[in-house]
C-alpha cells in the first residue's frame, strides 16, 4: 500500500466529468417544474435558467482562479485549506464525504433504477412487477429498490477497482446523454416554428394573465427549481490530484463545462417548448414533447436516455464518494487516517476510503427511501436529501471567497474582488432560495447537519490527542 494516486485523466475527460456530473435527470424533469412555477410563462422560465446558470458560472470562475494556484489532493478542500485554514478545510471535507456526496449519489442510483423500469414497462406494458407500474411500482416497488442497490454497488466497483474505466464510462454517458438533448433543441425548434406552437407558447405572459401582478416571486421560485439541475460541478475538483497538468486543465474543464451546461439547458428548454403546448408540458412533462416530435417509439426511448444520463451522473458522484475520506486521511485527519490514506498498489485507488464511501451511500439511501419515497418515516427529521445539502455547500463557499478577497494581493481586481464578490451574491441567493423553498424542513436538516459535523469534530480532536 502507498498513499499517492497517479495522474490518469486528461482535459477532455475532466470536461466530461463536469458536464456529466451536472447534467443528469434534472434537465429532463425540471423543465416541467419550472413551467409549473412560472405558470406557463416561457420567457420567465428562460430567465430562470439564465440566472441559475450565471450563479453556477460565477462560482465556477471564482474557483477556477484558485485552481490555478492551489493543487494538492481534493480541489475544494485544497482551496479551503489554502485560504481559511486546515481546520475549516477538514470540516468541508467531512461534510462532502459524509453528507453531500452520498446523499446525491443514493438519489441518483434510485433515479437510474426508476427510469430503467419506466423504459422497460413502456416498451413492454405487460412486464410483471409486484406493484403495477400505474400504482407506483417503478418508483417505490421492490424491483426499483433492488435495481437501485445494484446500480449503487456496480458504480462503486467500477470506481474502486478501475478508475480508468470509470473515466471512460463518464465520457461515454456524457456523449450519449447529449444526443437526445441536442436533437430536441434543434428538431423541437424547427417543429415548433413550422406548426406555430413555439410562437404561441412564447406569447403567453404570466404578468399579463395575472392582471399586472408582480412576477418577481414567481421568477424566484423558478430559479429555486434550477438549483438541483445545476448542482454537482464542484465534485469534479476532487480529481485534481489525478488530472494531468491540473493547474491548467482543471480551470479549463470547469469553465468550458459550465458554459456547455448552460447552453444545453436553455436550448433544450426552448426545443421542448416547440414540441408541445405549455399546458401539456405542465401536466405531462417533457416526454410529451418527445412523443409529439419523434413519435411514440422514439419518444419512449427518451426514458432509456434519461436512465443512462442518471447513471453517468451517479458515476461522477461516486467518484467523489470513494475519494472523500481519503482526502481527509492524507492530511492526517478524520477517522483512522493511517487506514483510509492507503492506496491499493494494484488498482491505484484508496480501497478503504471507497468502502466507507459506499457505506455512507447505503445509509443515506435507506433514509431517502424511508423518508422521501415510502413515507414510512413521518414527523420530525423528514427532509429532501436530494436538495437540502445545497444550503450548506453554498454557505461553506462564502468564507473561502471572503478570505480569498483579503489574501490574494497578487491578483488583479477582477480575479480578487469581482469574481468572488459575484460568487458570494450567487451563493446567498441559493441559500435564501433553499430556505424559502423548503420551509421547516431546513430546521430538521440543519439539526442532522450539526450532529454529523459534531461527530467529525470529535474524530479530529481524537487525532490531535
| pLDDT tens digits, 187-225 | 999 999 998 888 888 886 655 444 444 556 677 778 877
pLDDT at 177: 82
pLDDT at 76: 84
pLDDT at 210: 47
Write out the H or E segment, with its range, that includes residue 162.
Answer: none
CA nearest neighbour of 401 among 65, 40, 128, 29? 65
Angle between helix axes 142-161 and 163-195 (nearest 10 degrees) is 130
Phi, psi at residue 260, to the nearest 5°? Answer: -60, -45
pTM (2 d.p.): 0.84
pLDDT at 71: 67
CA nearest neighbour of 232 among 320, 327, 160? 320
Phi, psi at residue 122, to the nearest 5°? Answer: -75, -35
pLDDT at 240: 66
pLDDT at 463: 62
Which of helix, strand or coil describes residue 423? helix
pLDDT at 460: 82
List Cα–Cα distances, 307 to 50, 109, 110, 424, in angstroms: 26, 10, 10, 34
pLDDT at 211: 46
CA nearest neighbour of 92 among 101, 80, 105? 80
Q: What share of the chain is helix, strand, coil (3-state, %, to 5)?
A: 80, 0, 20
List, in order, residues 6 or more apart from 455 with CB less than 8 Å away: none
Whether 254 contacts 77, CB under 8 Å = no
Write out the H or E segment, with its range, that includes residue 264.
Answer: helix 246-275
List, in order, residues 6 or more apart from 414 with CB less than 8 Å away: none
Those residues of the chain that have pLDDT short of 50 are 1-2, 208-213
Amino acid at each position: 500500500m502507498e498513499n499517492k494516486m497517479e495522474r490518469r485523466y486528461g482535459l477532455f475527460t475532466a470536461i466530461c466529468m463536469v458536464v456529466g456530473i451536472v447534467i443528469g435527470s434534472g434537465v429532463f424533469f425540471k423543465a416541467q417544474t419550472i413551467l409549473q412555477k412560472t405558470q406557463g410563462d416561457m420567457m420567465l422560465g428562460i430567465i430562470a435558467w439564465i440566472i441559475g446558470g450565471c450563479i453556477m458560472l460565477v462560482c465556477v470562475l471564482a474557483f477556477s482562479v484558485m485552481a490555478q494556484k492551489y493543487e494538492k489532493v481534493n480541489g475544494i478542500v485544497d482551496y479551503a485549506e489554502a485560504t481559511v485554514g486546515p481546520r475549516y478545510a477538514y470540516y468541508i471535507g467531512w461534510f462532502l464525504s459524509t453528507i453531500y456526496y452520498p446523499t446525491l449519489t443514493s438519489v441518483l442510483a434510485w433515479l437510474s433504477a426508476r427510469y430503467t423500469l419506466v423504459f422497460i414497462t413502456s416498451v413492454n406494458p405487460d412486464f410483471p412487477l409486484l406493484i403495477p407500474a400505474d400504482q407506483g411500482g417503478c418508483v417505490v416497488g421492490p424491483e426499483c429498490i433492488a435495481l437501485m442497490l445494484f446500480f449503487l454497488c456496480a458504480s462503486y466497483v467500477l470506481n474502486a477497482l478501475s478508475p480508468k474505466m470509470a473515466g471512460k464510462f463518464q465520457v461515454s454517458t456524457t456523449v450519449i446523454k447529449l444526443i437526445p438533448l441536442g436533437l430536441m433543441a434543434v428538431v423541437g425548434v424547427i417543429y415548433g416554428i413550422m406548426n406555430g406552437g413555439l410562437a404561441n407558447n412564447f406569447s403567453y405572459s404570466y404578468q399579463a394573465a395575472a392582471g399586472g401582478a408582480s412576477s418577481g416571486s414567481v421568477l424566484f421560485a423558478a430559479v429555486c427549481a434550477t438549483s438541483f439541475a445545476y448542482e454537482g460541478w464542484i465534485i469534479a475538483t476532487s480529481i485534481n490530484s489525478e488530472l494531468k497538468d491540473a493547474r491548467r486543465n482543471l480551470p479549463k474543464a470547469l469553465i468550458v463545462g459550465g458554459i456547455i451546461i448552460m447552453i444545453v439547458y436553455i436550448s433544450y428548454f426552448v426545443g421542448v417548448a416547440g414540441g408541445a403546448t405549455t399546458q401539456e408540458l405542465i401536466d405531462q412533462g417533457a416526454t410529451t414533447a418527445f412523443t409529439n416530435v419523434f413519435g411514440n417509439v422514439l419518444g419512449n426511448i427518451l426514458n432509456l436516455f434519461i436512465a443512462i444520463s442518471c447513471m453517468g451522473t451517479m458515476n461522477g458522484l461516486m467518484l467523489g464518494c470513494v475519494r472523500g475520506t481519503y482526502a481527509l486521511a492524507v492530511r492526517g485527519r478524520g477517522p483512522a487516517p493511517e487506514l483510509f490514506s492507503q492506496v491499493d498498489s494494484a488498482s491505484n485507488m484508496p480501497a478503504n476510503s471507497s468502502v466507507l464511501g459506499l457505506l455512507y451511500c447505503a445509509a443515506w439511501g435507506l433514509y431517502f427511501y424511508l423518508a422521501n419515497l415510502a413515507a414510512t418515516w413521518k414527523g420530525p427529521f423528514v427532509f429532501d436529501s436530494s436538495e437540502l445539502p445545497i444550503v450548506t455547500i453554498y454557505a461553506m463557499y462564502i468564507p473561502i471567497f471572503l478570505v480569498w478577497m483579503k489574501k490574494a494581493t497578487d491578483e488583479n481586481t477582477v480575479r480578487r474582488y469581482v469574481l468572488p464578490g459575484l460568487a458570494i451574491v450567487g451563493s446567498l441567493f441559493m441559500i435564501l432560495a433553499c430556505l424559502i423553498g423548503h420551509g421547516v424542513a431546513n430546521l430538521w436538516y440543519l439539526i442532522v447537519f450539526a450532529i454529523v459535523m459534531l461527530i467529525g469534530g470529535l474524530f479530529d480532536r481524537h487525532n490531535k490527542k
